[in-house]
Amino acid sequence: MKYRSLGTSGLTVSNQILGTMGLGSETPEKEAFAILDAFIDAGGNMIDTADVYGGGASEELLGRWFAQRNKQAGHVVIATKARFGTGRDINDCGTSRPHLKRALDTSLRRLGTETIDLYQMHGWDPLTPVEETLSFLDAAMRAGKIHYIGLSNMTGWQLQLFVSTAKALGIPAPVTLQQQYNLVYRESDYEVIPAALHNGVGLLPWSPLAGGFLSGKYAKDSRQTSQARLNNGDVMTRHMKKELFRHDRNWAILEAVQAVAEQSGL
C-alpha cells in the first residue's frame, strides 16, 4: 500500500480508500467485517461512508466494527458525508446549520466516535449560503467534532466558491473533493480537476471501476447484463447501469481495458 497527504492537510492516508455504500444494507455483517479486516491488513487506513448509505446502516455497521476492534479504530481515518434527506421534515436535508448539526451528531453516535476525520458535503445545496455552511463546519472543527472538511459531487465553480469564501472568512477551506471519476466517466477533466489542482484540493475518485463495469464482469448483450440493468441495486444504481450499458463507447473502453489486462497477465 502506498500513502500520501490528504490534499494540503497534514494527514497521511492510504492511496486506496474503502467505500462502504453497500455495507450494512446489501452485504451481510460477517462478510462486511471480513472486507474491512482485509483492507486494514493490506495497509489501508481510510474508510469512507455517508449518513444516507443504507439509511444509516453503513455508519452503524462501522460503529460495531470499531467497537469490536478498538485497537485498530484509533488508526483508521474516518470519512463520512451529509447533505441529502434523512427524515420527513422539510429541513432534514441540505447544508444548513440546523440540518448539519443534527446530521453530524447522528453520524458521531452511529460511528461510536468523538471525532470524524473528514466531514464532506455530499452535494451542492442551492438554498443555503456557503457562508452559513462553512461557519458551522468551522465551529465543529473548533469543538473537536471534525478534523477536516471536504466536498463531493461539485462543479468547478462550486468548489472555487467554497475555497474563496473560506479564505475571505479566514477559516479552513475544504481539503478534498470526491467525484465520480473513471475511464468511462471523465467529465471532471474539463473543469473540476483543474480547479482542484489550482487550489491544492485533493481529488478522491468514487466508483473508479464504474460500478464494476470496468472489472469485466458484464458482457455486452448477455443475459447477466440485462438482469443487472433491470433488477440489481437501488434506483440510482439501476439508472447508472442503464446509462453504462446503452452506449457503445463504454463497451469499446471496456474492450480496451480487457486487452491491456490480458497483455499484463491479469
pLDDT digit string (tens) for 173-192? 999 999 999 999 999 999 99
In sequence order, what are the residues at sequence separation of 6 or more whose Cβ sits closer than 8 angstroms to the Cβ of residue 140? 100, 104, 119, 146
Q: Catalytic residue among 53, 119, 148, 181, which? A: 53
Measured between alpha carbons, how far is 113 from 90 in angstroms, rounded to an integer? 28
pLDDT at 116: 98
pTM of the model: 0.91
Angle between helix 235-245 and helix 223-231 axes, rounded to 10 deg: 140
Domain ranges for the chain: 3-208, 215-266
pLDDT at 69: 85
Could you say which residues of the chain have pLDDT below 50?
Answer: 229-230
DSSP 8-class letter at 83 = -
Q: Is 204 left (phi over 0), alpha (psi -120 to 50) or beta?
A: beta
pLDDT digit string (tens) for 130-148? 999 999 999 999 999 999 9
Residue of 241, 244, 237 lying closest to 183 (CA atoms):
244
- Radius of gyration of the CA atoms of the chain, in A: 19
Measured between alpha carbons, how far is 75 from 132 in angstroms, rounded to an integer? 32
119 is catalytic: no
pLDDT digit string (tens) for 65-93? 999 987 555 689 999 999 998 888 888 89
One of 3.20.20.20, 3.40.50.2000, 1.20.120.530, 3.20.20.100 is the CATH number of 3-208, namely: 3.20.20.100
pLDDT at 242: 74
- Where do we find the cell 442503464? 242
Measured between alpha carbons, how far is 159 from 173 in angstroms, rounded to an integer? 10
Q: Which secondary-structure segment (H or E) carries 38?
A: helix 29-41
